[in-house]
């Protein structure tokens, strides 16, 4: 599961530190693209950008979740970013 630490100013992500990310590097590439986005947009874009950079086979649909590994990776990254934003003092 990815893990982030974020800094927010004026309702936007100003800094993101990756504490744990995907071995393919998608976490790092996606995080570069969400800087200075609004909090709501950042969460959505984190999922989309992760899917774009993910190296998993998108044709491998999981019968339990009904999603491909690429979609699953996007959802995990969105959840991790949301969690990081909730833990800001």
pLDDT in tens, 67-81: 788 888 999 999 999
Sign for the pseudo-dihedral over CA of 45, 61, 26, 6: positive
Quote the CA–CA distance of 74 and 72 in Å, as a whole number. 5
Q: Are 73 and 25 in contact (CB under 8 A)?
A: no
Q: pTM here?
A: 0.87
Residues 23-69: pLDDT tens digits? 989 999 999 999 999 999 999 999 999 999 998 877 777 777 777 88
Q: Are 42 and 66 in contact (CB under 8 A)?
A: no
Taking alpha carbons only, the member of 48, 42, 37 closest to residue 82 is 42
Residue 4: CB atoms within 10 Å: 23
Quote the CA–CA distance of 86 and 1 in Å, as a whole number. 17
């Amino acid at each position: 599961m990815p893990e982030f630490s974020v800094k927010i100013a004026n309702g936007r992500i100003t800094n993101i530190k990756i504490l744990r990310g995907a071995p393919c590097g998608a976490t790092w590439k996606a995080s570069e693209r969400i800087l200075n986005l609004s909090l709501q947009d950042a969460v959505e874009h984190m999922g989309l950008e992760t899917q774009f950079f993910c190296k998993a086979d998108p044709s491998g649909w999981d019968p339990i979740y009904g999603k491909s590994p690429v979609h699953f990776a996007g959802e995990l990254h969105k959840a991790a970013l949301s969690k990081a934003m909730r833990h800001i003092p």
